Chains A and B, each alone.
Chain A
Amino acid sequence: MQTTSQPAQHGGRAGRPWGVVALLALLTAGYVAVYGVQQLINGLQLGAIYALIAVGYTMVYGVVKMINFAHGDVYMVGAYVAFGVTAAAAAGQITPGQALLLFGVGMVAAMAGCALLGALIERTAYRPLRNQPRLAALTTAIGVSLLLENLMQIIAGPNPRPFPGLIPLRQLDLAGIVINIRFGVAFLIALVMMAGLQYLVMRTRVGKAMRAVAFDLDAARLMGIDVNRVIAAVFMLGSALAAAAGVLVGVTYARIDPFMGIIPGLKAFVAAVLGGIGNIPGAMVGGLLMGMAEVGVASVRSELTGAVAFLILIVVLLFKPTGLLGERVYDKV
């Protein structure tokens, strides 16, 4: 999609994916050389979380061409829903089996709840503004974001809450690499979800409809696709994945607060832009890269991670606005 104000430049390059793959391989190799394999693993684990959130941003942008500022807060709500469902039950002594069960319940509740929340937000706050100037939708999204944060602050209190440790706190040592079980499980779950998403988008009818709407909304409508339903589905899907990320973060970091969605939301957004906004595999790759970058920077000076995210964003926007896997689209004048 159009990111710069110049209409129509020419040149679409074939065979680009290989260049990107090579670049990524090079980056990874360089990263390991500088930081070591342990940091790479840490970075990938964190990156998987970002990827789950980033995918939601990118899907929504793909279909309605808007940046859903409230997405990070849906992630937060997911964490709180799981918290609300499991905290009481987990308070006493429970077996690891029960804990895992609770984890599953919490996950399902969070994903379902946020899917509904996402659909609700889309229906009430975004759909009426679909044909209005971009700023109106952007401002409304900011409003929804603020609303979610502050409502949660009123409901659950402004202080961080401890999230129940539903996954055992243990470490595995594989040939010198330390893997925290919680992070490892989170990573695997995230991978499975992303694989599932990729399958859904590329191999099912619903996914095909989503891709059609992302490509050309009006044409999709003319082809008989119920555009409103598809958009709602996209929001629900993205929100569910963000909620999952929220639950995973709650379990791994053991604390949640009403404003926990702001910074990760921003970083995930940068990840989506980095990968090429509108491009789902791009968001996944972007997320992993952001995770790696953050771990690398944090080992030097941890306050800088936010600024580094913004820096990456600006560098991408200025030099390659379409991101790593994005494509140039031409503007008809």
Chain B
Amino acid sequence: MSELAPATTAGPLRATPWPVVLGRWLLQLAVIVGIYELLVAWMGGNRYLQVVLTQAGIYVILAVSLNLILGYTGQLSIGHAGFMAVGGYAAAILTKFFGVPFALALLAGAAAAGVAGLLVGVPSLRLRGDYLAIATLGFGEIISVLLSLIDEVPVGSRVIDIGGAQGLIGIPRHTTFAWTYVAAVLAIKVVWHFVHSTHGRACIAIREDEVAAEAMGIPATRYKVLSFTLSAMLAGVAGGLYAHQYLYLNPAVAGFMNSVFILVIVVIGGMGSTTGAVAAAIFFTYTNDALPNWMQALHLPASINPPAVRMVLFSLLLILVMLLRPRGLLGGVELTWAQLARAGRLLTGGGRRPGVAKGGAA
């Protein structure tokens, strides 16, 4: 049986002794801080690298949050960029026009995106499959159109200009790599903790078989909406970070292309795999920006513009991955302590075969 160990939401089967728990916690903390230091060192003073890594962090949050509703709960929500835009605009308006502190603005953006998630989710989640996909796509576009139509909004005694189709400019620079890194780590943690709990099991059950899930006492609609809203809130945080990194937001952020980009990351990375989502997000944002440079190195004729070539390669990759591994490259596979332990045992040559709990019959 060469199958990779199944993704399980099992916590320890026997109560883990507290020193081990503490030890693991400290180890996690050390790893998180360690990676941060490594990345900072790698960036050095390189502005470009810093921008790319920050962008990667933002898309990690987007991928991980989309994976929650798409990969774990199995709902075809493909208008995710709409929530990103709502969160971004909300946060940006607060910092630019009202001087709200960054952290608070991010939270407000999350809340706004959450509300949008509720408004979209409650009516849409009654739909199934392709219909849900189209409806969420439609909502994303509607958000985009609404944003392009609104320019001046009277607030109290003032009138604030959010730019309409021209976009919102002059957003204060607040986003740093540190902010993004912390937010990404938190987003991963939140999603991971949610998924590896009874609530996460409820969502996965809904994905597997909604009728059976209901029969087991799980209120399917409630959980779909919950998962949708939580996912939208995280996207809102990502939007806020995005706005204060690029200092400019326009309605296209809510549109189809951005949604598709996030969707592709999640689908290729592997549905229902947070590990896959993170890895794919990093890979795609990195190559997205690095590709024009590689192409320059190849000395292609000037008439072929990089965006088109990038998209052609992108779409070919997409089709290929779907044909070869429809569930995504890391679909259903996760990096967990249990798996690391198993890998450790394998490497040291002893212990049980992977995938069998108590040495029982195969």
Contact = CB atoms under 8 A, between A and B. Distances in A.
Given A3-B128, A67-B130, A136 B322 contact: yes
Contact of B220 (A5, A138, A151, A153): A5
Interface in A127-169: 128-129, 132-140, 142-147, 149-151, 153-154, 157-158
A134 B308 contact: no
Contact of A142 (B129, B145, B260, B308): B260
A80 interface: no
Interface stretch (A21-29, A204-212, A218-226, A312-320): A312-320
Contacts of A147: 311-312, 315-316, 319
A307 B149 CA distance: 11
Interface in B125-170: 125-131, 133-135, 138-139, 141-142, 145-146, 148-149
A146 B315 contact: yes
A157 B134 contact: no
B173 to A, nearest CB: 32
Contact of B322 (A140, A304, A311): A140
B90 interface: no
Contacts of A150: 308-309, 311-312, 315
Of B133, B220, B323, the most chain A CB neighbours within 10 A belong to B323
A137 to B, nearest CB: 8
B141 A134 contact: no
Nearest to B146: A307
Of B133, B303, B312, B315, the most chain A CB neighbours within 10 A belong to B315
B264 A125 contact: no
Contacts of B139: 310, 314
Given A133-B327, A307-B141, A146 B311 contact: yes
B315 A143 contact: yes
B131 A129 contact: no
Contact of A2 (B128, B303, B315): B128
A129 B263 CA distance: 18
A299 interface: no
Contacts of A140: 318-319, 322-323
The SS class assigned to the A binding surface is helix
Contacts of A129: 322-323, 326
A138 B130 contact: yes
A313 B138 contact: yes
A133 B314 CA distance: 21
A139 B134 contact: no
- A interface residue count range (under 10 / 10 to 19 / 20 to 34 / 35 or more): 35 or more
Contact of B326 (A7, A132, A273): A132
A269 interface: yes
B56 to A, nearest CB: 22
Contacts of A310: 138-139, 141-142, 145
B75 to A, nearest CB: 10
Contact of B319 (A3, A125, A313, A318): A125
Interface string A299-333: 00001101100110110011001000000000001
A95 interface: no
A5 B309 contact: no
A125 B312 CA distance: 15
B225 interface: no
Contacts of B149: 303
A144 B315 contact: yes
Contacts of A139: 263-264, 267, 318, 322
Nearest to A331: B211
Contacts of A4: 126-128
A66 interface: yes
B219 interface: no
Given A5-B128, A5-B220, A310-B141, A135 B70 contact: yes
B6 interface: no
Contacts of B134: 67, 269, 273, 313, 317
B76 interface: yes
B302 to A, nearest CB: 12
Contacts of B20: none
B312 A311 contact: no
A100 to B, nearest CB: 34
Nearest to A269: B134
A135 B312 contact: no
Contacts of A2: 128
Of B129, B145, B311, B312, the most chain A CB neighbours within 10 A belong to B129
Contacts of B271: 135
A150 B260 CA distance: 15
Contacts of B145: 303-304, 306-307, 310
Given A146-B315, A147-B312, A154-B309, A135 B76 contact: yes
B334 interface: no
Nearest to A310: B138
A314 B309 contact: no
Contacts of A133: 326-327
Contacts of A137: 322
Contacts of B124: 317-318
Contacts of B319: 125, 140, 143-144, 147
B210 A5 contact: yes
B340 interface: no
B121 to A, nearest CB: 12
Interface string A241-268: 0000000000000000000000000000
Interface string B211-244: 1000000001000000000000000000000000
20 contacts: A5-B125, A5-B127, A5-B220, A129-B322, A132-B326, A136-B326, A138-B78, A139-B318, A139-B322, A143-B319, A147-B312, A149-B311, A150-B308, A150-B311, A150-B312, A153-B305, A158-B305, A307-B141, A310-B142, A314-B142
Interface of A: 2-7, 65-67, 125, 128-129, 132-140, 142-147, 149-151, 153-154, 157-158, 269, 273, 303-304, 306-307, 310-311, 313-314, 317-318, 321, 333
Given A143-B319, A146-B315, 20 more contacts: A5-B128, A7-B211, A65-B130, A125-B323, A129-B322, A135-B267, A139-B263, A140-B318, A140-B322, A142-B318, A150-B312, A150-B315, A154-B308, A157-B303, A310-B145, A313-B138, A314-B142, A317-B127, A317-B135, A318-B135
